Structure 1
Amino acid sequence: MSEAGSVNEIVKRLRQGLTRFGYSACLITNLPRPEHERWQQHILINEWPRQWYERYVNAGHYRNDPCALISRSTEVPFLWEEVAKRHLCKASRRVMEEAGDFGLRQGLCVPIGLGTGNPAVVTMAGEEIGLSPIARCTAHALARHAHSAARRLIARTSPRFAPLSPREREVLRWASLGKTAWEISNILSISESTVNTHYRNSRCKLDTTNVVHTVAEALRRGEIEL
C-alpha cells in the first residue's frame, strides 16, 4: 500500500488482506460534524455497495450514524455489534438495521486522528466477519495503513488549497492562543465583525465548520504555528 500509485491499487491490496476475514466492503473517510452539508467530499475511499451508499446519502443517514458519532470521540476500534447494544435513538438504529438489509450485517470501525482535530474512520463490513483477536488486530493494522496511504496519495494529486491571507493567519494565531473574537479585535485594532469575516473566509478556504476546527486545520497544513 505504501507503494500504491492509485486509490484502486490501495483498495485492491486492502481487499487482499481483508477478504479472508469475511469483509466485503469498506469506507475510509474524514468525519466533519453531522450538520456538515458536504460531508461526501471528505470521503477518501468509497467501497460501499452502490445501492447502500445511495440509500445512505438520500436518507440523510450521516447525521444519525452512531458509528460516525462514536468515531469522533474515541480512537479505540469497535465492532458494530457493540454499537447495537447501546441505547440508540430510532433514527440511529434505523441506520444500522438498513445496513444489514444491504448485506452489511457485521462490521468493524477503526477511528483515526482524534487528537489532530481532523478525525477519520475506516469502516469495514460484511455478512459475517472474523471476530478472533488475530482477525481484529490484522484488520486494525490494515485499516490504519490504508488510511495513511490514501491520505498521502490524495495529498499528492489534489489541487493545492487556497492559501490564507496574512490577516487571516494572524487572526487564527490569536484564536489558537484562546483569544475571543472581541479580544482579537482589540489586539489588532479592527472591528469584531471584521474578525468574524476573517473566520468565515478561513472556514471557506480550509473547508472547516467552526473556529476550533479551522485552527486545527490551519496548524495541520502549516498555515500557522503555535
Structure 2
Amino acid sequence: MDFLERVVQLESATNIESWHSLIIETAHFMGFEQTLLGIIDSAQSPLHEAIILTSYSSIWRDRYDAHGYADIDPVVAHARSSVRHVIWHDDLYVTPRQKCFLEEAKSFNFKSGVTFPLHGPAAEFGMLSLQVDAENADAEKFIHSKLMEISFLKDSLFQKALGFIRNHKAEPDIMLSPREMEILKWSAIGKSTWEISKICNCSEANIDYHIKNIRSKFKVNTRRAAAVKAIALGLITV
C-alpha cells in the first residue's frame, strides 16, 4: 500500500478509534516514530477541551497536562499564531522554564520533529506533530524530504477531524463536471496549476476558477483535501 492509498484509507474511516490507529500506522510508514493530532473547536477554547489522538507516552502526556506545559511550549505558541510548519530546534526554547521543559521532553526522546498548525474556517485550531529518531542535520534533512507528504496528510486529517467534531452525517452527493474531474485528477498526482493549464490547453486563471469551485463543492480549504475526498468517494482514480 503506497502513501496515497493510506491517505484514502484514512479518509474512509468510519469511527475515530479506527482512524486513530490508521494515523499512527501512516506516520510509521512515513518514517516517524511518534505522532500527535490535536483539534479544538475554537482557538479561544481551553486546550484541555481538545481532542487528542496520539502515540506519545501516557506518562509524558500526563506530565505535560499536569504541569501546564502547553502554556510555555513555544511550538504551541507558534501554532496558535502561524500557518507555517515549525521544525523543532533548541533555539525555540528561550526562557528558563522553556529550557527546563525542553530537557524533560528530551528525556522522553522528543529531540527532533515537526509540527504543522491547523486553522479552520470557523476558528477551529489544531496541530499535527511528528517525531523522528534522527537528530540535528540528519533529522532536518529527513523532515524536509517528507514535507510535501505531510502537507497532503495534514489537510486530509484536519478535514476529517472537523467532521468528527461536528458529528457530520453522510455528505450529499457531489456532482463534478468532466472538466472538474480532469483537473482534480491531475491535482491528485501533484501537477501544478501551470502544468494542468498546459495539459488542458487553457489559462491558469481558468484552472484556478475550477479549483475554487471544486473546493467549494467539497467544503474544503485546499485542492489536496478535495482530491483525497474525491478518491475516497470513487469520483476519480489515479
Bin the TM-score by the shorter chain.
Answer: 0.5 to 0.7
Query: Could you tell me which of 114, 131, 134 is aligned with 1:125?
Result: 131
Cα RMSD of the aligned pairs, angstroms, is 2.7
Instruction: In structure 2, list runs of 5 or more residues that go unmatched.
Output: 1-9, 169-238
1:33 is displaced (CA, Å) by 6.7
> What residue in structure 2 maps to residue 113 of structure 1?
119
Larger deviation, residues 48-57 vs 145-154:
145-154
- Which aligned pairs between 1:89-168 and structure 2 lie closer than 5 A? 89-113=95-119, 116-128=122-134, 131-156=142-167
Normalised to the residue count of structure 1, the TM-score between the two structures is 0.58
Matched, 1:64 2:72: yes
Amino acid at match of 1:80: W
Structure-2 separation of matches of 1:7 and 1:147: 13
Matched-pair contact (CA < 8 Å) for 2:36–2:56: yes
Matched, 1:51 2:59: yes
Normalised to the residue count of structure 2, the TM-score between the two structures is 0.56
1:78 is displaced (CA, Å) by 1.3
Query: Could you tell me which of 19, 30, 36 is aligned with 2:28?
Result: 19
Amino acid at match of 2:14: G
> What residue in structure 1 maps to residue 91 of structure 2?
85
Instruction: In structure 1, list runs of 5 or more residues that go unmatched.
Output: 158-226
Matched-pair contact (CA < 8 Å) for 1:22–1:127: no
Amino acid at match of 1:22: G
SS in 2 for 1:23: coil
Q: From the superposition, tell whether residues 21 and 123 of structure 1 become closer, same or farther in structure 2 (CA, over 3 Å).
A: same
Q: From the superposition, tell whether residues 124 and 132 of structure 1 become closer, same or farther in structure 2 (CA, over 3 Å).
A: closer
1:52 is displaced (CA, Å) by 0.7
Q: Give the % identical residues.
A: 14
> What residue in structure 1 maps to residue 12 of structure 2?
3
| Greater length-normalized contact order (CA 8 Å, ≥ 6 residues apart) | 1
1:140-186 deviation per Cα after TM superposition (whole angstroms, max 9, x unaligned): 321231222122123217xxxxxxxxxxxxxxxxxxxxxxxxxxxxx
Aligned length: 154
Matched-pair contact (CA < 8 Å) for 2:43–2:123: no
Q: From the superposition, tell whether residues 141 and 41 of structure 1 become closer, same or farther in structure 2 (CA, over 3 Å).
A: same
Q: From the superposition, tell whether residues 30 and 92 of structure 1 become closer, same or farther in structure 2 (CA, over 3 Å).
A: farther
1:117 is displaced (CA, Å) by 2.9
Amino acid at match of 2:24: R
